């Protein structure tokens, strides 16, 4: 029996769904069965592969993380296969997966900044930006990734990769700092111990973002910010197996001579796996902890940008 259904998936979100299988199917399976689900386009292009698990109550749990759902909105085909311990396979569910973007527009009254002299600081820049400019001007070598220009704000440097350090004193009272990024640039944040953290980011003006670190304040020691141009940026890829993992972690020597702006771990099935932690060891090496998914099977891949 194949059940037709429609999946609704919000773009760029963590998505989960519990499928209740028909009673006739439940009567034949148990938690020892395996499940596999794929979402594909009209040309059979793989769009996403949700993790699929048969639960003790004989339902199936499907899940995608926000990286996997960061794809073009549209209608796609999907199905769910079940496999018995003896290797017998059957299709139990099929239908349409609709990946939808947010359609509601939160209307904000437009704000037109007043005209300012070419060398003055635009008034829409936050106190955090002005603080960062002052810090940079006082000691440029300490913040080589920040340069002043184009209206007095923080402008991206012209080199492919920019890195600078911040401390608690560089943050505004709300625990944030602001910086300008060009199209195609990415940003990553690393704490004093070298661990990768994920702050909240908000667009606050023309090519300017606010990085919110209030959940991590007060900052201990010196934190590091890495900004790279992802278009044409150098990248490093490494295949690894369980034998490469020591104490639940794998050491990756990428040779990029920087704090990475992005680290992706892909399973043998091509699923993006969220690491338990990512630690900066040196400008050319990181340690990725995979305790929650070890031991791994097959050959996995690490991609460093």
User: Across-strand partners of 178?
Assistant: 210
Q: List strand residue ranges (DSSP E) for 191-248, in order.
A: 196-197, 200-205, 208-212, 223-229, 236-240
pLDDT band at residue 242, thresholds of 50, 70 and 90? very high
Task: Report, at the CATH architecture level, how domain 3-100 is classified.
Answer: Sandwich (2.60)
- pLDDT of amino acid 133: 46
pLDDT band at residue 149, thresholds of 50, 70 and 90? very low
Q: 3-class DSSP state for residue 178?
A: strand
Q: What is the mean pLDDT of residues 255-282?
A: 84
Domains 3-100 and 127-228 share a fold: yes
Q: Does the predicted TM-score (pTM) go above 0.85?
A: no
Mind listing the pLDDT tens digit for each residue in 40-51? 987 788 889 999
- pLDDT of amino acid 134: 53
- pLDDT of amino acid 185: 65
- Considering only the top CATH level, what class is 127-228? mainly beta
Per-residue b or e along 102-118, where b marks 16 or more CB atoms closer than 10 Å to that residue's CB: eeeeeeeeeeeeeeeee
Measured CA to CA, the distance from residue 120 to residue 115 in angstroms comes to: 10
- pLDDT of amino acid 111: 52
Q: What is the mean pLDDT of residues 155-178?
A: 69
Domain ranges of the chain: 3-100, 127-228, 236-304
In the chain, % helix, strand, coil (3-state, to 5) comes to 10, 45, 45
- pLDDT of amino acid 304: 85
């Amino acid at each position: 029996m194949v059940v037709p259904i429609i999946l609704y998936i919000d773009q760029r979100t963590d998505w989960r769904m519990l499928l209740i299988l028909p009673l006739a199917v439940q009567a034949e399976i148990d938690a020892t069965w395996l499940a596999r689900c794929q979402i594909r386009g009209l040309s059979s292009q793989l769009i996403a592969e949700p993790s699929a698990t048969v639960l003790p109550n004989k339902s199936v749990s499907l899940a995608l993380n926000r990286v996997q759902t960061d794809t073009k909105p549209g209608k796609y085909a999907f199905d769910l296969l079940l496999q018995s311990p003896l290797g017998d396979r059957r299709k139990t569910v099929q239908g349409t997966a609709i990946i939808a973007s947010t359609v509601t527009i939160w209307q904000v009254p437009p704000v037109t900044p007043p005209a300012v002299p070419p060398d003055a600081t635009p008034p829409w820049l936050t106190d955090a930006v002005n603080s960062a400019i002052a810090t940079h001007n006082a000691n440029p070598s300490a913040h080589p990734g920040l340069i002043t220009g184009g209206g007095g704000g923080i402008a991206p440097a012209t080199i492919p990769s920019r890195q600078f350090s911040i401390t608690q004193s560089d943050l505004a009272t709300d625990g944030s700092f602001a910086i300008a990024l060009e199209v195609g640039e990415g940003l990553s944040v690393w704490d004093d111990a070298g661990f990768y953290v994920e702050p909240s980011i908000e667009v606050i003006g023309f090519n300017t973002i606010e990085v919110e670190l209030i959940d991590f304040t007060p900052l201990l020691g010196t934190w590091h910010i890495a900004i790279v141009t992802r278009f044409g940026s150098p990248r490093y890829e490494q295949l690894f197996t369980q034998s490469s993992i020591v104490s639940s972690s794998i050491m990756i020597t990428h040779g990029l001579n920087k704090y990475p702006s992005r680290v992706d771990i892909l399973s043998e099935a091509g699923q993006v796996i969220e690491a338990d932690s990512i630690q900066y060891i040196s400008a050319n090496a990181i340690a990725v902890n995979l305790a929650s998914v070890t031991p791994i099977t097959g050959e996995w891949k690490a991609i460093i940008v």
